[in-house]
Amino acid sequence: MNPLLTDELRNEPPEKLAVHHVSKTFHTAHGPVAALDNVSLHVREGEFVCLVGPSGCGKTTLLNIVAGLERPDRGEVLADGKPVRGPGRDRMVMFQEPALFPWLDVLGNVLFGLKLKPKLTSAQRREVALFYLQLVGLEKFIHANIHELSGGMKQRTALARALAPNPRVLLMDEPFASLDAMTREQLYGDLQRIWSERKKTIVFVTHNVREAVCLGDRVILFSPRPGRIREEFAIPLPRPRDINSVDVAQYATEITQALKRANLPEHTS
């Protein structure tokens, strides 16, 4: 083997997730619905990958399969080279709704997530929870009740809870979709900062193309149902990125045009 090529391969981040030929069909009262068809995807360690596509194209289904919440009909998913058979501590999911426990305060919600770390003492769990609450900017609100929080603060709490067990992969399903534009922009900056500091592998589902360009190393474009990977876009822009920047807009325009083509029948594209 070429020694230069060997050096390049040695410097390449290891593969964190591998999706091999995954297909999924749901059986409904109105008949079978094909959600995914022969999807293959590889995600490197520390990579931020965004999945975009039209509604119903199977993005969330794929995320749930990677999380172990759904089983594929065909194909398999490997996490660190091991087959995914169900949910695991190495893969945490952050949903569109924060799903916080209203009877616990902010600190209590993050501590609850740390029950996945049974070897930690109570003092160690509190130290970890406080670290991540500080990371998301909520150190002054640790004893606030959930109903007292804004939508953005709830999502920050959910993010701290997902990060605290130190998962190898963070799976995010449209976590900012229900927030106002100003709050979303602030969270884009927060998430980029946290990703830069912690270097987590992130797979992020969104309908918002600009959001995907602002956040992702790669944007994966899905075709309409049944979901297939139609195109892939590398986003080499430096971080932190501003969602309103000209550079982000240019990439977003290119991907939006591809998304429109993806909505056309295959024979017309």
In angstroms, the Cα distances linking 13 to 6, 78, 158, 200, 201 are: 13, 16, 28, 12, 11
Residues 187 and 63 placed together within one structural domain of the fold: yes
Residues 45 and 105 placed together within one structural domain of the fold: no
Range of the domain at 107: 100-166
Residues 171 and 69 placed together within one structural domain of the fold: yes
CATH of the domain at 235: 3.40.50.300
Residues 264 and 135 placed together within one structural domain of the fold: no
pLDDT given at position 267: 36
**Domain termination residue (choose one: 120, 136, 166):** 166
Residues 76 and 112 placed together within one structural domain of the fold: no
Residues 258 and 174 placed together within one structural domain of the fold: yes
Residues 158 and 180 placed together within one structural domain of the fold: no
Domains contained in the chain, number: 2
Residues 123 and 36 placed together within one structural domain of the fold: no
Rounded-to-integer distance, Cα 129 and Cα 243, Å: 30
Residues 109 and 228 placed together within one structural domain of the fold: no
**95 domain-assigned:** no
Q: pTM for the complete prediction?
A: 0.89
Question: How does pLDDT run along the chain (269 residues), one tens digit per residue?
Answer: 343 333 344 456 789 999 999 999 998 888 888 999 999 999 999 999 999 998 888 999 999 999 999 999 999 999 999 999 999 889 999 988 888 999 999 999 999 878 777 788 889 999 999 999 999 999 999 999 999 999 999 999 999 999 999 899 999 999 998 888 888 898 999 999 999 988 899 999 999 999 999 999 999 999 988 899 999 999 999 999 999 999 999 999 999 999 888 665 543 33
**Domain termination residue (choose one: 166, 193, 213):** 166
